[in-house]
Amino acid sequence: MRGAWVKISGISSPIACSKGGGLRLSPNRNYGQPYTKDGQHIPRVCVLYYRRGPNEIYYEIEVFVDILLAEYCLREIVQREQLLESKIVLAERNGYKAAGCHDELIQLLRQYSKAEYDLYIAESRLPVGPVHKSYHTLRQNPVWFLRSELVEDCKARGGCCGRSCGCCQTRHERTTRPKGFGHCTPSCECCISERGFEYSPEELKSFAENFKNQLLDDNPAYIVQMADVFFLLPLVTEGEKPSRQIEEQRGDVTRRKGIFKRR
C-alpha cells in the first residue's frame, strides 16, 4: 500500500501532520538495501522522510514516482500534439494532406484523457500533510516548473533551457490543455528541429523507461532531487531576500488570484 507514516518514539502510526514550511526530504539510512534487524531479514526498503520536531514522517517513494511518471507522460503527449499540429499547418500551407497526423492526434486525445486520470489517481494517494499542501500550493502558479533546479536539469538534458528560444518559458501559453506543460521531453518540437531528427516510438519508450529506472534506482540522489523540486516550495533561509524567481514560485507574483498574501 502506497502512503506515509509517522514514527513517534519508535511506534509507527498513520500520518497526522500539521502544516509547516522549510521541508526537506531525505532517504532512509538503508535506502535500497536489504538488511538484518534483530535477526530478521528486511527486504529492500526505499522511503523518504522529513523531520517534524522529534518525529520522522516517512513516505514510500512510489507516492512520488507515480506522480512524476504521470506528469512526464502528460508533458510528452502535449509536446507531441504541438509537433503534429505544426506538421498539419505546414502540410496544408503547401497543399498536402496530413491524414496520418490527424489520425495520431485522435489517438493522443485518448492517451491524454487516460494520462490525466492516472495523474489524478496518483495525486489522490499523496497523504494529507505538509508535502501534500506544498505540492498543491506550488501548482497554483502556472510557471512553477521554471524554478532554477528544473531549468538546469532541462539544460543538462539538451532541452530548450540551454538555448535562447524561450520555449519552456512560454509553453503554458501555447496549449489549451490544463495540464502537461513543463520542460522538454524527447517529443519537443524545438528540440527535434535542433537535433535534426525524431526518435522512433521504441526510442521514446526507452527514454520514459530510463526516467522510471532513475527514480527507482538504489542510489536515492535522483529521486531526492526530483521530489524536492516537484513537491516542495523553494526554501528561503531567515534573513535572505527572495529572488524574483522564488517570489514567483511562492506565488507573490500571482497574488492577484488570491493565492498568497504578502506579509
30 and 126 inside one domain = no
Cα separation, 228 vs 9, in Å, equals 26
Domain-located, residue 158: yes
157 and 222 inside one domain = yes
Radius of gyration of the chain (CA): 21
Cα separation, 9 vs 89, in Å, equals 64
80 and 47 inside one domain = no
Amino acid present at 67? I
Q: Residue 263 pLDDT > 50, yes or no?
A: no
Q: Which domain holds residue 170?
A: 64-235+241-250
- Greater confidence, 241 or 166? 166
Domain-located, residue 103: yes
Domain-located, residue 263: no
Confidence grade of residue 95 (pLDDT, cut at 50, 70, 90): confident
pLDDT tens for each residue of 136-195: 999 999 899 999 999 999 999 999 999 999 999 998 888 888 899 899 999 999 999 999
Domain boundary among 61, 89, 106: 61
Cα separation, 149 vs 163, in Å, equals 16
Q: Residue 241 pLDDT > 80, yes or no?
A: no
126 and 227 inside one domain = yes
CB-based contact 104:82 (threshold 8 Å):
no
CA angle, 63 then 67 then 73, to 5°? 150
49 and 162 inside one domain = no
> What's the mean pLDDT in 8-28?
51
> What's the mean pLDDT in 225-245?
69
- Nine cell digits for residue 171: 509553453
98 and 167 inside one domain = yes
Domain-located, residue 255: no
Q: Residue 247 pLDDT > 90, yes or no?
A: no
181 and 228 inside one domain = yes
Cα separation, 105 vs 5, in Å, equals 42
52 and 142 inside one domain = no
Confidence grade of residue 22 (pLDDT, cut at 50, 70, 90): low
57 and 71 inside one domain = no
* pTM value > 0.85: no
74 and 46 inside one domain = no
Domain-located, residue 256: no
21 and 8 inside one domain = yes
47 strand-pairing partners: 60
50 and 133 inside one domain = no
